Amino acid sequence: MDHGKPKVFAAKRIPPEALAYLEQYCDVRSWDGDGPIPRERLLAALADAEGLLTSGDAIDDELLARAPKLRAVSTVSVGYNHFDLDAMRRRGVVGTHTPYVLDDTVADLVLALMLSAARRVTELDAYVKSGRWERGQPEAALFGTDVHHASLGIVGLGRIGERIAQRAVHGFGMKLYYHNRSRNPEAEERYGAQYVSMDELLGESDFVVLMTPLTPKTERFFRKEHFDRMKPSAFFINASRGRTVDENALVEALATGRIRGAGLDVYEVEPVDPSHPLLAMPNVVTLPHIGSATAQTRRDMALTAARNLVASLRGDEGAYVVKELRS
Ligand code: NAP
């Protein structure tokens, strides 16, 4: 152990390459238990830590008070809704995340949700595997909806949204609408994206994809009035965070046939309750918050997070500091 190196705690398992990188510069202790670290163990581990590598742990006042030496928190994710930004700012703790490395991987999964929901892939997979496919059945009962040349509305056309746009427009010939708080002129030029109001986006889109970060402004931002404005034939896709949506309103829109179907990677409470009504709906494709989870991308994210932590502690350039905490 080198006493000159800053002490850091890795609250999640990271691949050997990322751990080796961290160990070059830091005195590293890691959580090696199964599953997420219990809160009390995390707080105890932070008593003398200057850096923390984490993914979903709430970085709030309580934690910061128990971590008097903490200078940097690096999350292995692009979303950082678990950061209490005010508390971190007050205590001068830097927060970093992992943008860009996962954009294509998450975009692939969003397309998978769109295709699965529209072409009923999971529903029909279950149909075949359960032996219900018999000769002479009316085929029309199995028909789906076209994705190609349909219209797509992205709410939150940022880094990941642009990679979805690229696939949808250049691959599937889709017409693209988007709604952000501010315009994205590059995306308008590259993908012919039309900047529209929420109302217009909901009224025009065959697929509505929610891709905003979870912030106090986007918490339960998508609600009944939005589902009510969607086309009855449209699909709702959420790969942002579950809490951006009023889930009861989503259940109601699906149960009443107000919308055609949904593709979900995220839920208000995760893991989702096995008795949740969404899980019993054949027109809903449900994934376990798996958007960035390919082996390669998770390795790249861990390495980016390790580099972020080292750069932040050394005061080097190049760490992806979250925008609200940039000085
Ligand atoms: P990003 O580049 O920051 O893009 C987010 C977009 O949302 C921006 O274009 C932003 O535009 C827009 N936005 C923010 N607040 C808004 C509001 N109140 N109303 C309308 N638009 C708003 O982020 P990203 O890298 O694409 O990631 C987006 C989110 O995806 C992450 O924060 C994370 O929660 C989620 N995610 C999920 C998975 C998964 O596994 N399912 C994986 C990775 C990421 P304006 O600022 O102009 O409004």
pLDDT value at 305 more than 80:
yes
Instruction: Tell me the β-bridge partners of 286.
Output: 264
Domains for the chain: give ranges and CATH numbers. 7-101+295-325 (3.40.50.720), 103-286 (3.40.50.720)
Kindly tell me if the per-residue pLDDT of 45 is higher than 70.
Answer: yes
Q: Identify the pLDDT of residue 327.
A: 82
| Residue of 211, 290, 320 with the most ligand 1 atoms within 8 Å of its CB, for mutation | 211
Across the range 295-313, mean pLDDT stands at 98
pTM: 0.97
In this prediction, residue 135 carries a pLDDT of 86
Q: Is the CB of 213 under 6 A from ligand 1?
A: yes
At 137, the pLDDT band (50, 70, 90 cuts) reads: confident
pLDDT digits (tens, 9 = 90+) for 192-204: 999 999 999 999 9
Give the confidence band of 2 by pLDDT, cuts at 50, 70, 90: low
Residue whose CA is closest, atom 25 of ligand 1?
Answer: 159
- d(C-alpha 80, C-alpha 62), whole Å: 17
pLDDT at 3: 61
- Average pLDDT over every residue of 35-62: 97
209 lines ligand 1 (CB under 6 A): no
Q: Is 160 in the pocket of ligand 1 (CB under 6 A)?
A: yes
Predicted local confidence at residue 159, as pLDDT: 98
pLDDT at 188 (0 to 100): 97
**How large a percentage of the chain has pLDDT more than 90?**
96
Residues known to be catalytic = 241, 270, 289
